[in-house]
Amino acid sequence: MKNKLFRPSALSGTGIRIHFLGAARSVTGSFHLFEYQDRGKTIRFFVDVGSIQEGDKAPSPKSRLIKGLKAKDISFGIISHDHNDHTGDLAWLRNEGFSGPVYCTEATKDLMDLTLLDGGHIQEERAREENEALRALGKKKSARVQPRYTQADAVQVLKQVRGVKFRQRFSPAKNITIEFLFSSHLLGAAQVIMWIGYGERRRKIAFSGDIGRPGMSCLQDMALVEDADVIICESTYGDKLHPKRSRLEALAEVINRAYALAKKAPKSEGAGKILIPVFAIGRAQALLYDLNWLITRGLIPNMQVALDSPLALKATEVYRKHVADFPKEDRVRAKKGDLFRTPRFVESMKKSQSLKLCKPAKEPEIILSSSGMANGGRVIEHLKVLLKSKHNTVVFVGHQAEGTNGSTLTLGAENITLDDEAVRIRACVELMEDYSGHGDYEDIMNWLVGFKKKKASKIFLVHGEEAPATALKTRIEETLKVPVVIPTMRSCYELA
């Protein structure tokens, strides 16, 4: 169907159309625009408005909207969870003229208060560095780079964000009802259940958000939905299966092996260290929770654990605030003590504290530092020091994307360049992908099979590269006998 805006009396049937403007046969830039027309009036809203990550062959932000649509024509927005590929273009959309409310869960709102400001700071710094390089080359002022959005932009758009409780239905517009259900991907992450229309024209649409994995620390398992007319489902790992093993046992084995190696370091060198690159939100808290669990039960040595990331420290406070969203057993544990503070816990907020962690220590210690793929952040300074000794261990705990420093290290490189410094790799490098936030195809299928009360008329697969999406499409059609569509970028569909 030609991708154009609704005009009065342009539709029959349900009056609902979906435009796929991001994460179509790709895993970044999630952006889905809905149009609902009734009695000559059109309501437009989006579900997610994520930034397109570097390297993706996709439109620039300013060309993402449909031809003829202005940002001010969008009534409201929905955010499924706080990851940059789902929220990163929100401030840009506001700058283009969007002024409506944005709805998300309460925990997502609190996390966005941190990440959008942090993202604005990063955008400003990148623009400054690029402009310094342009000035050094004698480029004209007209060639200067502008940040996609600034911290000031983030402050303004955050005023539009509204937090809503899980399972609390609300109506942002006439004949549109929304409900958030747990998706097990991240604190606050939600499935978005939508009822659009009325009477015989009413349709129930279930958007999976990012499907997480069962049994993850501090996250309720993916909630099952009994029925939907249309399903929009992510497909990131549509062709992969995660290892079927105990995450805690695997982590304990790696830490104990690294500890034994660290103890062998000569006194003149200082004890070896265990460095775990982590993402500041989600991964850091899951690791702290599990390390605390293992240490308090004597399954790994009671060593110092340092969290070296200002953003991760602030995000951990948000996790503590939203214990009510945790599984029952974690809510009970939280009443007995801090889930994220190990017996010998160190907070590293200041740069001077981070640099102190780089110095030799008398006994082995664990350092959690961002970023998770080691492509920036404080972890770079730690790597430049720790990679040089065979008594140190670097543990990567999630998928390492091609081209990142994490990928280079886990693939067995002997040398690496970090901040223009060549480093010979002598440390032990471990990879355990047990902390990946995305469920595999079995987890996705378990959610889809749960729709038993009423069979969906169609399933759209988004947020996945073409190969995993195609594999998942085949599996769904063979198992559920439901037609599956893998939308292309900027395609749109009118719902029957």
- What percentage of the chain reaches a pLDDT higher than 70? 95
Q: Give residue 252's Cα distance to chain centre.
A: 25
**pLDDT reading at 28 higher than 70:** yes
Condensed to tens digits (0 to 9), the pLDDT of residues 145-177 reads 889 899 999 999 999 999 999 999 999 999 999
Averaged pLDDT for residues 406-420: 96
Averaged pLDDT for residues 237-265: 96
**pLDDT reading at 187 higher than 80:** yes
Per-residue pLDDT, 390: 97
Averaged pLDDT for residues 346-374: 96
> Who contacts 41 (Cβ-Cβ below 8 Å, separation ≥6)?
none
Per-residue pLDDT, 12: 56
Distance between CA atoms of residues 405 and 214, nearest Å: 29
| Residue 4 pLDDT level (bands cut at 50, 70, 90) | low
**pLDDT reading at 384 higher than 50:** yes
Per-residue pLDDT, 54: 54
Distance between CA atoms of residues 295 and 360, nearest Å: 23
Per-residue pLDDT, 7: 47
**pLDDT reading at 144 higher than 90:** no
Number of H helices, E strands in the chain: 13, 22
Looking at 37-41, 58-62, 69-73, 310-314, which range is the least confident one? 58-62
**pLDDT reading at 397 higher than 50:** yes
Condensed to tens digits (0 to 9), the pLDDT of residues 211-229 reads 999 999 999 999 999 999 9
**Do the Cβ atoms of 50 and 21 come closer than 8 Å?**
no
Per-residue pLDDT, 454: 76
363 burial type by CB count under 10 A (0-12 exposed, 13-18 middle, 19+ buried)? middle
Structure tokens at 88: 């990163």
Phi/psi at 305 (nearest 5 deg)? -120, 120
Phi-psi region for residue 67, left (φ > 0), alpha (ψ -120 to 50) or beta?
Answer: beta
Condensed to tens digits (0 to 9), the pLDDT of residues 447-474 reads 999 998 778 999 999 999 999 999 999 9
Strand ranges (DSSP E) for 365-419?
A: 365-369, 393-396, 415-418
Per-residue pLDDT, 399: 86
Distance between CA atoms of residues 83 and 118, nearest Å: 12
Strand ranges (DSSP E) for 3-108?
A: 16-22, 31-38, 41-49, 76-78, 102-105
Per-residue pLDDT, 8: 39
Q: One-letter amino acid identity for 328?
A: K
| Residue 88 pLDDT level (bands cut at 50, 70, 90) | very high
Residue 492: strand pairing partners: 19
Per-residue pLDDT, 216: 93
Q: Which domains does the chain have, with CATH numbers?
A: 16-241+437-494 (3.60.15.10), 247-435 (3.40.50.10890)
Averaged pLDDT for residues 370-392: 96
Per-residue pLDDT, 60: 60
Per-residue pLDDT, 142: 65
Distance between CA atoms of residues 77 and 86, nearest Å: 12
**pLDDT reading at 402 higher than 90:** no
| Residue 61 pLDDT level (bands cut at 50, 70, 90) | low
Per-residue pLDDT, 86: 96
**pLDDT reading at 1 higher than 60:** no
Averaged pLDDT for residues 94-123: 96
Per-residue pLDDT, 401: 83
Task: Name the average pLDDT for the chain.
Answer: 93
Q: One-letter amino acid identity for 31?
A: F
Residue 234: strand pairing partners: 462
When computed from its CA atoms, the radius of gyration of the chain, rounded to whole angstroms, is 24
